[in-house]
Structure 1
């Protein structure tokens, strides 16, 4: 199979823009609970579990949006103007985005961790007439980016009370003036200029229209809304993904269009995120693999520290077996879990699974994972533990998801089937092409890149994969394919995902391009490492002091050997190095959406890569029989 299409569930947006849903919802049900805000001015996190939430009704949100929109008009922002938003995920981000859409302006999301050079490029490329920043550090970044040559007419700062200032500025503007601007917005107008994460080269601005976002959200709501609720509970979710990323933006827009109760959480660290989840108790979760891997690792570590490591391991095995049997049944390939397996799962439900779900607030039964593929084993574990994670696939150019797991027919190890209204095509070289209402209209000011990416109605994603009964399997990216000096080509994704699933390993970069064999750079999770040291009765030590520790290397070698069983001998990892620190967005080695910046990593750790191919290592490889390579 080389192509698969799923028909639309909802017709494309025919008139108006995204802001219209704010006003129609408030008119229809003004008391509807649309948002909750933390009572301590947005500072959610730490080890606290006493977070209280202040409700925001649909009518109150409309009034907030209208007041900010009047303020933007008073400051000269009009239809077609571009205003950048540089802030973490918080209520004010969503509020100001909808206010800008209300007056017909285009939102330019900027990652709050962006460098001076990145901010300079985005503001120059978009010609933004204004920017909203969160704090003084962001304001200083903007000042350094443009200096005295700035073309900006306005800079607003959230932590300096800019929302209230906008409301004051707009006191003399009539509501009718705002609504005239809103009435001029058409579905094909740009809603956001979302910049690619920039894993290589300069980020490109993807022009995402109101119709793109509406189609993405409305089809997901039509096909998957039943999963958002818990029994007897209205749907709710905690928005913690960066709103500067198209995935996070889609989550909030979909929630507003679908009337889902939303709270914002600005900090993705487990120390902040987990208490917020436990307090808000969402009914649904949008996340990335890192979130699910962290919850799994934390639960495993807690069980081991309590002396229940064996219990957790057996519970995990039962969860995977149970989910595998349930999947076979849902796909019409088996009878489902047998009585003995059901009984064993019931035993572990109270002892293990319920406690794991409590980490997420206790009400989540379904979730979505995006950004990068979720490992099959992790997906099976969560399904067996009572949370079905619907893995999906998409890019900024496809307004976030373009495939998702169908309701009731999840196939773990894949990223699902095309969303309604979308098609997936596998080109002759294995590249994934997609088509549909969610595909962007092109790159801003870059017709050459647009012409390369868009092949008629199709968008060439740069990812590799294949279709299995309409389900898409991601196998890697074209630009990441490694070709060894012996001519063997391979994608590093399988090995990297397998190794990242080990509790001690946080990231892995497989190398070997133009080299005699495949090797890997590995980073460790500091908390998991400290836990491992306690179990071994060893004094705590930082990762940087243990890169050559024999016992630790033996542990990682077992993980490498297990990963190697997933590939051929010629594709297997022969050498690895443990690095002294993790890759982070702050160091420029991960994108803000937590994807590897391979070229930056290889440049930063060039000496470590060279050590993987020392004469001694190469000699060891050369002694192996030719037929085993």
Structure 2
């Protein structure tokens, strides 16, 4: 198949703009708990519960304050902060005030912040802490933007030169309800709602303009398609950056559907928080699932149960495969041996793994990178199905997705309601639909962005017989060797990255006679390995890509290389590799969503690459 489409489930024409999602929910269920806000101190302290009415009132008060301080319809408002409740308040309040939201990752550098506020002509900004506010102030001074200043999310001390959103909300009495309602209703479906700057994995960041129609089309149709996952009886924890459109879209879906939301910016506290809040649904990137599985394997090894765990993992994968077959053929059933093994390992391992995730997770959504099919089947086998989806900033996040009761590992599912995909002659995935944007803020970025009314995603893929999309790599990542072989590195790289020790694998070989690879080490997992092996590794130089030459570590990782090579043709196999330690918090090297900037890696590792061909 070269085309696949799914019909629209919900028409958005009866909505004025995104703010209707909150106003309608506040009318329908004002006392329903919409958010849980963490305590300032101990993790096990009581989380503060916020009803829909309370959230609506906070949003309205801040919106009035924004208007009182001078925000005009269509003004751009930047939000730069970690994932937290106040981010949600600021986001909705900006829309109520008639503004256009410009999210900025809280890890952005001074140059990145300055570039965004200048390109978007930001008028006012809201920052999470003093460091982010200092960056915003410096960017405003440098670019001549920010006429209405930068405001803190937390209350400031009396006499401080900088105000807070509480100070803005305190001015709400200056604006009447009628004036606020008139401002709230100004934006229509085709008005810009947000300008989201892409992460720039292959070039300079671009400002994608997403409309209220894009958000509403996605929110209402995804909520309709995933009612079994997102519902008023469930709850979730958002720990993805809210500057990412997926997290914001998820937040709106949950808000409109009555699903309770908690925010968490400290990813090291995720496991403890899962046990406290016991979510029914979470969104992760594949790396999180890999680490959960690896941690379980390590714990089993510490108890001398490595072989037993290996059998348990194989059984979970087999059970997951069976579950998928049963969705297509109701007559498929497990044989007695598999049923007995699964029941035994459920008692020994699986239930404990579910308890680590809080004990109530019905589904996990995975996105942001390719998910290995066997990893998906493993979690299905431990009774926590993984729904893999695919989307981009330019498609207002989800474009395709597997559905409850119809999951096929190795695919990212069919188009979501109101969306169509096409595979070009070159194998590129093309898209159009309710979430697909109309274009970038800068017209020159729109050149070659569309073809025949479809957005060019830059991803390679195919469509299976059931209309599901199978991703095959990035168009710009394709390698052509000196003997004319065209190589798509994604399968090999993803296989190697399944090793807990490897954070990113980068295949190289453009114009060369054979393929090599740079393997960027996961600092935490490598430290654990070194400690267990009694090896002392030199601390990496954070400013460079530092080659690690330990022979024992190379031997350990060789198994992952051999496994990856067994999955591909001989011409696609990697002959040589080098291990690299570096600072993976470096925003010039890795995007805020943990995607590697391949071109930057290749530039910085030029000498290491040359060594691979000597």
Displacement of 1:25 in angstroms is: 1.6
Residues 526 and 543, structure 1, Cα contact 8 Å, conserved in 2 = no
Following the alignment from structure 2 to structure 1, what is the Cα–Cα distance between the partners of residues 329 and 418? 26
Check the 8 A contact 1:135/1:160 in 2, yes or no. Answer: no
Instruction: Answer whether contact 2:223 2:230 (CA < 8 A) is retained.
Output: no
Corresponding residue of 1:106: 100
1:523 corresponds to: 520
Q: SS at 2:126's partner residue?
A: strand
In the other structure, the counterpart of 1:475 is 472
* 1:477-496 correspondence runs (5 A): 477-496=474-493
1: CA distance, partners of 2:79 / 2:527: 38
The answer on whether the counterparts of 1:328 and 1:334 sit within 8 Å (CA) in structure 2 is: no
Secondary structure, counterpart of 1:459 in structure 2: strand
Q: For the Cα contact (< 8 Å) 1:301–1:528, is it kept in 2?
A: no
Task: Quote the residue 2:460 is aligned against.
Answer: 464
* Contact 2:428/2:459, CA 8 A, preserved across alignment: yes
| 2:552 equivalent in structure 1 | 551
Question: Displacement, 1:546?
Answer: 9.1
Matches within 5 A, 1:319-398: 319-332=316-329, 335-398=332-395
Who is 1:156 aligned against? 151
Secondary structure of the structure 2 residue equivalent to 1:520: strand
Q: Deviations over 1:539-567 (max 9, x none)?
A: 55457599222222112112101100111
Q: How does 1:428-467 map to 2 (within 5 A)?
A: 428-444=425-441, 446-467=442-463
The answer to whether the 8 Å contact 1:51/1:279 transfers is no
Relative distance call for 1:401 and 1:83 in structure 2 (3 A) is same
Structure 1 counterpart SS, 2:266: coil
Change (3 A) 1:129 1:577: same
Count matched residues.
Answer: 600
Equivalent in the alignment of 2:159 = none
Cα deviation code 1:574-620 (max 9, x no counterpart): 000011235x2425211111111001111222211111111xxxxxx
The separation in 1 between residues aligned to 2:197 and 2:360, in whole angstroms, is 34
Cα deviation, 1:7-40, whole Å, max 9, x if unaligned, reads 1111134431111222222222211010010121
Q: Secondary structure of 2:297's partner?
A: helix
> CA distance change for structure 1 residues 218 and 576 in 2, over 3 Å: closer, same or farther?
same
Q: In structure 2, what is the Cα distance between the partners aligned to 1:51 and 1:297? A: 30
- Cα distance in 1 for partners of 2:605, 2:139 equals 28
Deviates most, 133-142 or 372-381: 133-142
Normalised by the length of structure 1, the TM-score is 0.92
Q: 1:139 to 1:332 in 2, by over 3 A?
A: same
Unaligned runs of 5+ in 2: 157-163, 541-545
Residue in 2 that maps onto 1:183: 185
Per-residue deviation, 1:49? 4.8
CA contact (8 A) 2:202 2:599 kept: yes
The aligned residue for residue 619 of structure 1 is none
Q: Distance in 1 between matches of 2:13 and 2:273?
A: 35
Q: Distance in 2 between matches of 1:397 and 1:148?
A: 29
Please report how far the alpha carbon of residue 267 of structure 1 lies from its aligned counterpart in structure 2 after TM superposition: 2.1
The residue that corresponds to 2:565 in the other structure is 564
Equivalents in 1 of 2:155, 2:597: separation in Å? 34
Bigger mean CA deviation after superposition, 181-190 or 396-405: 181-190
Alignment pair present for 1:171 and 2:173:
yes
1:63 aligned onto 2:83:
no
Indicate how the Cα distance of structure 1 residues 449 and 165 shifts in structure 2: closer, same or farther if over 3 A, else same: same
Asked if structure 1 preserves the Cα contact closer than 8 Å seen for 2:38 and 2:48, the reply is yes
Task: Provide the rounded CA distance (Å) in 2 between the counterparts of 1:351 and 1:149.
Answer: 60
- Determine the C-alpha separation between the residues in 1 that align with 2:539 and 2:215: 43
- Where does residue 236 of structure 2 map in the other structure? 237
TM-score by length of 2: 0.94
Determine the structure 1 residue equivalent to 2:39. Answer: 39
Partner of 1:222: 224
- 1:335-378 per-residue CA deviation (whole Å, 9 max, x = no partner) reads 13222212211111121111111221111021111111111111
CA–CA distance in 1 between the matches of 2:276 and 2:204?
A: 40
Q: 1:168, 1:297 → 2: CA distance?
A: 49
Task: Return 161-170 or 341-350, whichever deviates more.
Answer: 161-170
Aligned counterparts of 1:118 and 1:550: Cα–Cα separation in 2: 39
- Find the aligned partners of 1:30 and 1:146 in 2 and give their Cα distance: 39
Q: How many angstroms does 1:499 deviate by?
A: 0.4
Distance in 2 between the 1:310 and 1:107 partners? Answer: 52
Q: Is the 8 A contact 1:507 1:522 kept in 2?
A: yes
Which of 122, 140, 143 lines up with 2:134 in the alignment? Answer: 140
Which residue of structure 2 aligns with residue 209 of structure 1?
211
5+ residue gaps, structure 1, are 615-629
- 2:293 corresponds in structure 1 to 296
SS of match in other structure, 2:456:
strand
Partners of 2:551 and 2:330 lie apart in 1 by 46
